[in-house]
Amino acid sequence: MTLVLKQLDHDNLCHGWEWEVEDIDILAERVARVALGQYRHIAQILEGLAVSAPAGSAQHAADALKKLKVAKNGDPWHRDGWLFQIISWIAANQEKQGAALAPPHIFHAHKGFDGLQLEISDDCKSVTAVVIFEDKATEKARRTIKREVWPDIEHLEAGGRIAELTHEVSAILERQQQVHPDLDIDHAIDRILWQEARRYRVSVSIDDRHKSHDKRKKLFKHYDVSADGGVVRRRAETMHFEDLREWMTNFSDLVAEKIKAIANV
């Protein structure tokens, strides 16, 4: 697998996984293919399917390489956040266990949800839950969670963005109906109006301050206040970096190399 996922649960506060890179070259190639618009190929690989790799073109490569550039003012936050979202999408695919995921974002400035996942019932006729992603690549994990993530979740819990959520879930369901023809789309859409059907997956970059099990738990303090109910509603994912910005700069360069190699440019 691209990432090693280590399960770490924190009693009734939250549950989830810690991500570790197993092979940086494979991870970079898979991120490169997402940047080239080939996310379906990566999804199929992560499903365990033996599929031929699609070719890339010079035009695809030129467009993908633009996404790896930092802002004109030298700010890398948008690029790094986008790369982290793709890594998050890969991690979600590795442990989705039959769930349906929205495609990863193909550009930085997307204003929708960071990611969405639909939990499908065993008989493939209904949706049991919608998981809303909050992905944050940050050097200040706890402050970002307190000031940005918890307010976002509380807004969603109060019914905020429900029309947007319905819209995006509908698009995923329509694609899923090709695979599961008995899936009741209208009933599934009705389900997301119920608070208990909405779950959250908070994924954040961390450094040594939150690397230990106890410190990691403190990072997600008050998660159960923002999203109350059973612990199944609260997933927590982390990826450790010694130096986030340096790692992302080096990784971006490696992804660029993979894009050029895939497109043969």
Sequence-distant (6+) residues with CB within 8 A of 38 are 54, 56
- Cα-based angle 76, 132, 183 (whole degrees, multiple of 5): 135
pLDDT at position 261 over 90: yes
Which pLDDT value is given to residue 74? Answer: 81
Read off the pLDDT of each residue in 217-245 and give the average, rounded to a whole number.
97
pLDDT range class, residue 188, cuts 50, 70, 90: confident
Per-residue pLDDT band for 176 (boundaries 50, 70, 90) equals: confident
Contact 227, 200 (CB under 8 A): yes
Interval 215-243 mean pLDDT: 97
Please give the residue that has the higher pLDDT: either 108 or 110.
108
| Contact partners, residue 58, CB within 8 Å, separation at least 6 | 263, 265
In what helix (H) or strand (E) does residue 189 lie, and over which residues does it extend?
helix 185-191
Rounded CA-CA distance 175/100 in Å is 9
pTM beyond cutoff 0.85? yes
**Torsions phi, psi for 209 (to 5 deg):** -65, -25
pLDDT band at 245 (very low <50, low <70, confident <90, very high): very high
pLDDT at 98: 82
| Range with the poorest average pLDDT among 32-41, 59-68, 176-185, 194-203 | 176-185
Considering its fold, how many domains does the chain have in total?
Answer: 1
Q: Is the pLDDT of residue 248 over 70?
A: yes
| pLDDT over 70 at 233, yes or no | yes
Domain hosting 147: range is 3-263
The predicted structure's pLDDT at residue 56: 84
Query: Does the pLDDT of residue 109 top 70, yes or no?
Result: no
Q: Provide mean pLDDT across the span 162-179.
A: 87
Q: What is the mean pLDDT of residues 40-51?
A: 90
